[in-house]
């Protein structure tokens, strides 16, 4: 399967009843919200490993 050209994609979209237009929005709010969401998710995911590290006792961890 080869790469489709622009004309072929337009025709494909029209066959499915989709308007072949890709809207673009450059609003700071969109990027800012996504950055905040990613920061919150990564912060939450970082809590478990940090908690496990703080629970380790150095001597027992070296034996394992």
Q: Is residue 14 part of a domain?
A: no
Q: For residues 46 and 34, what is the distance between their CA atoms, to the nearest angstrom?
A: 18
19 lies in some domain: no
Measured over all CA atoms, what is the biggest interatomic distance in the chain, rounded to whole angstroms? 67
Which of 1-5, 13-17, 46-50, 58-62 shows the lowest mean pLDDT across its residues? Answer: 1-5
Residue 60 has a pLDDT of 77
Q: Is residue 36 part of a domain?
A: yes
Whether 53 is in a domain gets the answer yes
Each residue of 10-51: pLDDT tens digit? 888 899 998 888 888 888 998 999 999 999 999 999 999 999
Domain presence at residue 42: yes
In angstroms, the CA 56 to CA 63 distance is 12
Residue 16 resides in a domain:
no
Domains identified in the chain, total number: 1
CB proximity list for 19: less than 8 A, separation 6 or greater: 13
* 30 inside domain: yes
Comparing 11 with 6, the larger pLDDT belongs to 11
Per the model's pLDDT, the better-predicted residue between 18 and 62 turns out to be 18
Whether 35 maps to a domain, the answer reads yes
pTM over 0.85: no
Q: For residue 58, what are the domain limits? A: 24-64
């Amino acid at each position: 399967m080869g790469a489709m050209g622009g004309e072929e994609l337009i025709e494909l979209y029209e066959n499915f009843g989709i308007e072949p237009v890709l809207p673009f929005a450059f609003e700071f709010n969109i990027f800012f919200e996504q950055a905040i969401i990613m920061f919150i998710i990564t912060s939450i995911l970082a809590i478990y490993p940090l908690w496990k590290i703080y629970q380790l006792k150095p001597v027992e961890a070296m034996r394992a």
